[in-house]
Amino acid sequence: MSKDYGQFCGLARAAQVLGERWALMIVRDLTVSARRFTDLHEGLPGIPTTVLTTRLRELEESAVITRRAAPSPARGVLYELTPRGRDLQPILDALGRWGAEAMASPRESEVVTDSSLASALRSAHRPGGLAGPLTYHVRSGAASAWATTRGDEVTVGPGEPSSDPDLTIDAGPELRLLLAGTLTPEEALASGGIAIAGARRLLEEFTRSFRVPLSAPAP
């Protein structure tokens, strides 16, 4: 609904734009990379095209995203965040960590998408790791994403990394427990819930660089 809350309040203004159904998911996908309409539609299972159209228009009116022609080889329209939209990234990362604290294992019928995996890695990253650069390629279920750490910074993206990764991680739902520290790298490998291609030492570095605590069991 484009109805407001009748309050002169920053949070009310934010909620008017971001509180609409699917709006946060769309912005999250765009914090990971610019996307076309069809990319977004495929990356957000269940969203009706009508709703996607409406949200994109509203987010554009609110100066959170812009649309421009896709660069040369591709055709069509590319949606991307404006500077104002990019300001949301650390806030959504924090909100995602908050939500992830009570999220131990996937519910029936919950999937992992490229963008959700990439944004999870970004929000899980903490400084203090090896100087790098180090590139991790993570796959979980049908999703694939990569993360490159360089000093205290991290860059993430959907799909395959453009250059050969230093470590490839193939994981099931155990990835969540690995990020929580509930499961050690040794246990994860031994149980078969996680398989790697690359130096085993780098998996330990991965668990130091990416962490999301887990406070409650899965609801």
Number of CB atoms found within 10 A of residue 111's CB: 12
Q: CA-to-CA distance for 26 and 210, rounded, in angstroms?
A: 24
By CB under 8 A, tell whether 8 contacts a second copy.
Answer: yes
Q: What is the largest CA-CA distance in the chain?
A: 57
CB under 8 A: which stretch of 72-80, 102-110, 181-189, 199-207 binds a second copy?
Answer: 102-110
Determine the Cα–Cα distance for residues 71 and 134; give it in Å rounded to an integer: 29
Residue 144 interacting with a second copy (CB under 8 A): no
Q: Residue 154: CB partners within 8 Å, gap ≥ 6?
A: 121, 122, 125, 147, 148, 209
Q: Which does 15 bind (CB under 5 to 8 A by kind): a second copy, DNA, none?
A: a second copy
106: contact with a second copy by CB under 8 A: yes
Q: Is 102 in the site for a second copy (CB under 8 A)?
A: yes
Q: Which residues of 125-160 are buried (b: 16+ CB within 10 A; e: fewer)?
A: beeebeebebbbbbbbeebbbbbbbeeeebbbbbee
Applying CB under 8 A, does 217 fall inside the site for a second copy?
A: no
Query: Beta strand 167-171 with 143-150: parallel, antiparallel or unpaired?
Result: unpaired
Size of the site for a second copy (CB under 8 A): 61
Under the criterion CB under 7 A, does residue 49 sit at the interface with DNA? yes
- 151 touches a second copy by CB under 8 A: no
Partners of 147 in the β-ladder: 136, 156
User: Residue 164's binding partner, choosing from a second copy, DNA, none, with beta-carbon cut-off 5 to 8 A by kind?
Assistant: none
Interface residues with DNA (CB under 7 A) are 1-3, 20-22, 36-39, 46-51, 53-54, 56, 67, 70, 75-78
Interface residues with a second copy (CB under 8 A) are 1, 4-15, 17-25, 28, 44-46, 62-63, 84, 87-88, 90-92, 94-103, 106-107, 109-113, 116, 119-120, 123, 173, 176, 212, 215-216, 219
